Amino acid sequence: MKITHDTIRLDTQKPIEFIDITDDTARILKNASVKNGLLNLSSEHTTCAVCINENCERLQKDMENFLKKLAPPNDNYHHNHQTIDDRSNAHSHLMSLFLKTTESVQIKGNRLSMGAWQRVFFVELDGPRKGRKINITIIGE
3-class SS at 25? helix
- Range of lowest pLDDT (23-27, 85-89, 115-119, 134-138): 85-89
Q: Which helix (H) or strand (E) holds 68?
A: helix 57-70
Q: Tens of pLDDT along 75-117?
A: 999 999 888 788 899 999 999 999 999 999 999 999 999 999 9
**String of DSSP letters for 90-123:** HHHHHHHTTS-SEEEEEEETTEE---TTEEEEEE
Domains in the chain: ranges and CATH: 2-72+87-140 (2.60.120.460)
Residue count (the chain): 141
Nearest CA to 28 among 123, 140, 138, 141? 138
Record the pTM.
Answer: 0.95
